[in-house]
Amino acid sequence: MNLNSVVLMGKYAVAVLMLFVSALSFAQDNASVAPLSKDSADACYQSGVDLFSDGRYEEAVIMLKKAAESGHADAQYDYGLCCFNGNGIAEDKDEAVVWFRKAAFQGLPVAQYTMGNCYEYGDGVEQSSESAVEWYMLSAGQGYADAQAALGIAYYSGVGVEQDNQIAAEWFRRAAEQGNADAQSYLGTFYANGIVVQQSGYKAALWYQKAADQGHPEGLYNLGYCYEFGVGVDWDEDKAMELYEAAASAGLAVAQLDLALYYIERDNLGDDETALEWLYAAVAQDYPDAQYLLGRLYYEGRIVGKDQERASRWFAMAAAQENTEAQCDLGFCYLTGQGVRQDVEIAVRWFVKAAELGNVRAQHNIGVCYYEGLGLEQSYEEAVKWFTLAADKGYPDSEYYLGVCYNNGQGVGKNRSTAVKLLRRAKKGGCKEAAEALRILSE
């Protein structure tokens, strides 16, 4: 059974019903308009296109609307675009959707895809991921590559449809083979990670190259990774940097951040200015990891002046976007009163947010708060729970505290053997307190 039969069966029934309803509504909407003949509508549409190409937008809109009102699908779509973008007419996304819908009901694939976009982002309609997928289905079923890629993303992310990597891969492949750069980059990632396909660095690099050749930012970045680590291609650090810079110049925030880190760590004369240029470029895109790094730089006084108040502000911005390291550091700022008014309860709230998202450092900090009674009612039992969570992930400081709890019988049955094992693990992980505790126990 091919993918169409798996995915699109049942959707065609919806499409037929939509087309039937549209025929009625279209006839009603245009009952008072004397339609042009097909040849006249074609000529009118072409005139509108020519006028638009010449930058005569207001005149173009008149011709496009005239053809659109006569049922010309391409004209309906293009007139909708004029309404959507405000070209030659006041911007009106609600009106744009009316015309996109008319063209889509006539089976125009690009209009169906655009309707999917409108529903995905809530432009001119109430946002609905499920409705977006339905429109993408109709367009993708006609072979429209952008819709196929969008459908692949929907299945990959599980937004608007049940998550299914197998179906996602098939749609990505269809779109990629038609030259869609988004799909090519995603397909490369599937091969790089062995997602429902046999892992292949060579095929990953091949698809990334196809996307990169079109200037696709993620394709450039991922191909850079391949060259940096020799995945499917010969190792070439210079080529990797060239690709990373191309991705960053194309506006990819993660590439901009990586370049900033590269220049910070290289620490050559003049690199600080370049590092900050790339970092600020990523920050300007509201990229939380970049906001967090800028906060750390202000906190440490590295390549910028030390400023704990600014540091806490950047931590707060990144924390609001669920950067767990920023949440943890912001909690520490509130715990110690660095850059903000000291407030232990707020500190604990940020630790909890980060811990619930799996941040091991935050889990440890909550354990300490319970152990010491900081902002929480003192409880060795609760402390042991949080220390155990972090220790199970190999966090040395939690291994140390948990070892102390087992040695002293705090919140858990006293067990010297377990205590020693935990303290040894903590010492191996670099915890100096654990080394001292083991020395004392050995006396």
User: What pLDDT digit, counting tens, does each position of 193-227 carry?
Assistant: 999 999 999 999 999 999 999 999 999 999 999 99
> What residue spans define the domains of the chain?
3-184, 185-250, 375-443
CATH number of 185-250: 1.25.40.10
| Mean of pLDDT values over 422-436 | 97
Tokens at residue 87, please?
Answer: 């070209």
Closest among 123, 26, 127, 116 to 84, alpha carbons compared: 123
| Mean of pLDDT values over 125-150 | 98
pLDDT at 22: 46
Percent over 70 (pLDDT), the chain: 92
Q: What is the C-alpha to C-alpha distance for residues 173 and 192, in angstroms, rounded to an integer?
A: 15
pLDDT at 442: 86
One-letter-per-residue 3-state SS of 80-135: HHHHHHCCCCCCCHHHHHHHHHHHHHCCCHHHHHHHHHHHHHCCCCCCCHHHHHHH
pLDDT tier for residue 392 given thresholds of 50, 70 and 90:
very high
Computed over every residue of the chain, the mean pLDDT equals 92
Q: What is the C-alpha to C-alpha distance for residues 283 and 240, in angstroms, rounded to an integer?
A: 23
User: Using an 8 Å Cβ cutoff, are 46 and 75 in contact?
Assistant: no
pLDDT at 308: 97
The answer on pLDDT for 247 being more than 90 is: yes
Type and span of the H or E element at 369? helix 360-372
The answer on pLDDT for 95 being more than 60 is: yes
Q: What is the C-alpha to C-alpha distance for residues 70 and 437, in angstroms, rounded to an integer?
A: 86
CA 276 to chain centre: 23
| Mean of pLDDT values over 155-180 | 98
pLDDT tier for residue 37 given thresholds of 50, 70 and 90:
confident
pLDDT tier for residue 39 given thresholds of 50, 70 and 90:
confident
Q: Tell me the chain's radius of gyration from C-alpha atoms.
A: 29
Q: DSSP letter for 227, please.
A: H
Phi, psi of 414 (to 5 degrees): -65, 130
pLDDT at 33: 53
The answer on pLDDT for 11 being more than 60 is: no
Residue linked to tokens 């190409």:
53
Pick the CATH number of 3-184 from 3.60.110.10, 1.25.40.10, 3.20.20.70, 3.40.50.300: 1.25.40.10
pLDDT at 21: 41
Q: What is the C-alpha to C-alpha distance for residues 36 and 13, in angstroms, rounded to an integer?
A: 31
The fold of 375-443 is 1.25.40
Q: Other CB atoms closer than 10 Å to residue 280's CB: what's the count? A: 13
Tokens at residue 168, please?
Answer: 């996602």
Domains 3-184 and 185-250 share a fold: yes
Q: Other CB atoms closer than 10 Å to residue 268's CB: what's the count? A: 8
pLDDT at 226: 98
pLDDT tier for residue 61 given thresholds of 50, 70 and 90:
very high
Lowest mean pLDDT among 155-164, 260-269, 416-425: 260-269
User: Using an 8 Å Cβ cutoff, are 253 and 265 in contact?
Assistant: no
| Per-residue pLDDT tens digits for 322-370 | 999 999 999 999 999 999 999 999 999 999 999 999 999 999 999 999 9
3-class secondary structure, 389? helix
